[in-house]
Amino acid sequence: MSDEMFSHTGSSNAGLTKEIEILVPWGIIAGKVLGDSTNPPVLCIHGWLDNCNTFDKLIPLLPCDKYYVFIDLPGHGLSSSFPVGMFYTHFDFVALINRLTDYFEWKVFSLIGHSMGGNICCVYAGTFPEKADKLILLDVGGVYPLPMGLEVQHLRLSIKHYLQHETSNRSHKMYTFEQAKERLLGANPSLTEEAANILLERGVKKLEDGTYRFLRDFRHNYHVPTGVYAVNGLDFLSRITAETMHIIADDGITKNLNAKKMEVYNYFMDDGFNDCEYYRHVEVKGKHHVHLCHPERIIHPMTSLLERPLRPGLRSESSASKL
C-alpha cells in the first residue's frame, strides 16, 4: 500500500476510506478514495438523488489492487450545487469526468455506474472510448430510455420548471432524522433501513435546532433539460469499446418502466453494445439498490471483469494520483 492510510468519520465504511475535495469553478466536488493511488484507477458514479455512500458496502469487497474514487455529483451529497441560472445536464456530468481525469492525471481508467451514473458512464465511454478500459453498469440500460417522439415535450417541461424554480420562494423542509429516513424509504422501496442510514450520512445536514434538511439540490427533481434520447443514444452506445459488464436486478429498473420505455430499453440492450469485444449481461436477484443492500450478489461478475488485463491498444502509463 502507499502512504495513504484511510480514516473516515462516517459509520458505514469506518477506517477504510479517505475523504477528498476537488476544486472546480463552481465550488468543490466531494468524494472518497480507497486503495493505493498508484494502482489502476476506477471511478464510481452514483445514481439520481443518491450520493457516493451508495458504494460503501460494495467497493471494499472488490479487488484490492485498484484505486477506487467515488464522488458526489454536483448538487448531491457534499458536492457544491451549480449556481442558480445553470441547468444540470448529462453532458455537464460527462465533462465533469474529464475534469476529474485531468485532475488525477489518468490516461486510462475504468468506470462503475449505478442508475443515472451508469447513463453518464456510458455517454463518457462512447465519447472518449480511448480512455475507458472497463465499464460496469449496475441496473441501468445505458442511456436514459426516453421514448422517441417525446424529446420536445421533455425539453419544454424541463426549461419551464427550471425557470419557475428560480423565481420561487421555496424553502427547505425540516425533518427529524427518522422523518427524513421515512421519506427516503418511501421514495426508494429498493432500500433497506441500513441502506437508508448509509445514504443519509451525507444526504442530510443536522441544523442547530436538531432538525435535518436534505442536502441535494431540489432542481434535480426536474427532468434533465438535455438528455441522451433514443434518437442518438444508440450512437453513443455503439462507440463504446470498453470491456463491459451489464448487471441487471431481476426486480430492479426494468420493473418500473412503462411499455414505451421498455421498448427503448430493449432496443438499446439488443443493439447498443455490438462493438464491445468483451460484453457480458448478468441478471441477479434483487432490487434497484442491490449493490448497496446485497453487494455479495454482484461481486463475482464485477471481479471477473476488473481482474482482466488492460485491454489491447490502450496506453497503460498513468501518473500517480495527486492525493
Beta bridge partners of 43: 69, 111
**Active site residue: 12, 80, 81, 115, which one?**
115
Residue 115 known to be catalytic: yes
Beta bridge partners of 134: 243
In this structure, the number of other CB atoms found within 10 A of the CB of residue 212 comes to 21
Residue pair 70/114 in contact (Cβ under 8 Å)? The answer is no
Beta bridge partners of 263: none
Residue pair 117/90 in contact (Cβ under 8 Å)? The answer is no
Q: In degrees, to the nearest 5, what angle opens at C-alpha 315 toward C-alphas 52 and 320? A: 50
How far apart, in whole angstroms, are the C-alpha atoms of residue 107 and residue 184? Answer: 38
Three-state SS for 254-288 is HHHCCHHHHHHHHHHHHHCCCCCCCEEEEEEEEEC
Look up residue 183 and give its amino acid. Answer: R
Residues with a known catalytic role: 115
